[in-house]
Amino acid sequence: MKKAQLAIAFLLLASAFDAEAKQIQVKVLNFSFSPKNFTANIGDTINFVWVAGFHTTTSTSVPSGAAAWDEASDPGHTSFLYPVKIAGSYSFICSFHFTMGMVGSFTVPDQAKIVATKTVSVNSCSNTNSIQYKCSQSKPSFKVQLFRYGVAFGTVRTVTNTSAFTYGNLPIGSYFATAKGNGGADKVAGKSGISILMPVPTGLHPSNITASKATLNWTRYSCVRFYTIQFRKKGTSTWTKVKTAGNKGSVNLSGLAAKTKYQFEVASVDTLHKITATGKFSVIDSFVTAATATITLNENAVSEKAVVDRVTPDENSVGVFPNPTNASFKIQTKNMSFRSASLRTIDGKEVWRETHSALLVKGSQLDVNVSNLPAGLYILQLIDTNNNTVTKKIVVAK
């Protein structure tokens, strides 16, 4: 139980401090610890690793506020993690063999803790954002440096106490701050988490909705590099993400399911120095795709019903089965020969074509593989040797 609680505490601590926090391994040998004396930083964890013998790792002196420990180190207890939270001097022993010199110690220098207690990100490009920070753990005064996209932003600031203080008039971006206590004399700087200041998109609305497509729109901001959009079928938990190619106020979706309700949301994104700042997602908007759609075939826009019902002099000269299908279907020619066959999506995109096949001879049969196509409505178009067209509706069901 102790090990599980300490492991959880370490994970929580690691999320609050710099990613440079590390694990220090101390080997528990026969009658010695290795290393015996060392330095650690706040946010590190000490890992006592059993190597040989039957021993303990037991604290004899810890700083005020730090947790004491007394753990076995033997073949049944091969690892013990101790997260470092407090600066100061620590001493430990093996309670069985300390008289034989099995003792150790480590020192943790003062390290300020700095956290963002409040962020204000405005929905504009007016550079009126702000971040409020608070320092603790080390001793005042604190020397604080703000960073934007990993680069120092402004000058070092002296903070004389542990009260909250604010950086204002900030442009959009990715920020963190570092702090050194004891008037800046701390050997190790504390580091805050990342704060993202980005405007949240508004004015969401869909347009140009068909059975398989939709355009998603929002009000764009001039200071944003691009936008990330995620959408999903209502009632599902998995989002599909797309992004705009630059600062655009819309994105086109395709391959949607007919007569289905979708949800979508949009986030602003900026990048600099290979660091990406993605803001909060907008409120969720939704739309419902149409039951049928307008398609383009041979550069003429016609309705699905018109395409399906367009009859050539001998439409019955072709059979298609099975239909609907989930993997493949067969084209059976009867009393006519054809010079080409093609399959298109309902918006006119060609996904398959055949011009050199036994299909050209009447009475032949051709297999068409559609296992790699998404579910939906497709249009099969065949052209005979007299340039007459036969059109069939194909339903791919997954």
CATH classification at residue 316: 2.60.40.3080
Judge residue 1's burial from the number of C-beta atoms within 10 Å of its C-beta, 0-12 exposed, 13-18 middle, 19 or more buried. Answer: exposed
For strand 103-108 and strand 37-39, is the pairing parallel, antiparallel, or unpaired?
Answer: parallel
CATH no. for residue 53? 2.60.40.420
Domain at 239, CATH number: 2.60.40.10
- Domain end (from 288, 312, 343): 288
Is the pTM of the predicted complex or chain greater than 0.85? no
Residue that is written with structure tokens 């993605």 in the block: 278
One domain for residues 91 and 35? yes
Per cent of the chain over pLDDT 70 is: 87
Same structural domain, 65 and 157: no
Instruction: Give the mean model confidence (pLDDT) for residues 227-231.
Output: 98
Does position 9 have pLDDT exceeding 60, yes or no? no
Nearest C-alpha neighbor of 211 from the set 256, 180, 168: 256
**Are residues 236 and 283 both part of a single domain?**
yes
Please tell me which of 6-20, 141-155, 181-195, 285-299 the model is most confident about, judged by mean pLDDT: 141-155
Report pLDDT digits (tens) over 114-135.
999 999 999 999 999 999 999 9
Q: Is the model's pLDDT at 248 over the cut of 80?
A: yes
Dihedral, 396, 351, 370, 374 alpha carbons, nearest 10: -50
Q: Do 234 and 302 belong together in one domain?
A: no
Are 283 and 343 members of one domain?
no
For the stretch 172-206, pLDDT in tens is 999 999 999 999 999 889 999 999 999 999 999 99
Strands 275-278 and 240-243: unpaired
pLDDT of residue 301: 38
Of the pLDDT bands very low, low, confident and very high (cuts 50, 70, 90), residue 75 is: very high
303 and 256 in one domain? no
Q: Which pLDDT value is given to residue 4?
A: 43
Domain end residue (candidates: 197, 214, 234): 197
Residue 293 has pLDDT above 80, yes or no: no
Alpha helix ranges (H) inside the chain: 2-16, 304-309
Look at residue 253 and tell me whether its pLDDT is greater than 50: yes
Q: Based on the domain organization, do 357 and 386 belong to the same domain?
A: yes
Q: In this predicted structure, what is the pLDDT of residue 356?
A: 61
Picking from 79, 108, 137, the residue at the C-terminal end of a domain is 108
Q: Above 50 in pLDDT, residue 310?
A: no
Strands 376-384 and 70-73: unpaired
Q: Which domain holds residue 308?
A: 294-396
Lowest mean pLDDT among 21-25, 50-54, 230-234: 21-25
> In this predicted structure, what is the pLDDT of residue 357?
58
Asked whether residue 3 carries a pLDDT value surpassing 60, the answer given is no
Report CA-CA distances (Å) from 284 to 202, 216, 232: 10, 12, 11
**pLDDT beyond 70 at 7:** no
pLDDT at site 15: 37
Quick check: helix, strand or coil at residue 195?
Answer: strand
Would you state the structure tokens that stand for residue 145, as one six-digit string? 């440096």
Does residue 42 surpass a pLDDT of 50?
yes
244-270: average pLDDT: 96
Q: What mean pLDDT is predicted for residues 142-146?
A: 98
Residue 360: what pLDDT?
60
340 and 281 belong to one structural domain: no
Do 352 and 315 belong together in one domain?
Answer: yes
Q: Which residue has the tokens 């690691």?
A: 14
Give the count of domains, the chain. Answer: 4
Distance CA 131, CA 101 (A): 51
pLDDT at 352 over 80: yes
What mean pLDDT, rounded, does the chain reach? 87
Q: Are residues 213 and 268 in the same domain?
A: yes
Residues 27 and 63 in one domain: yes
Instruction: Output the pLDDT for position 12.
Output: 38
Same domain, residue pair 43 and 81: yes
Q: Answer whether residue 264 shows pLDDT above 90.
A: yes
**pLDDT (average), residues 327-355:** 84
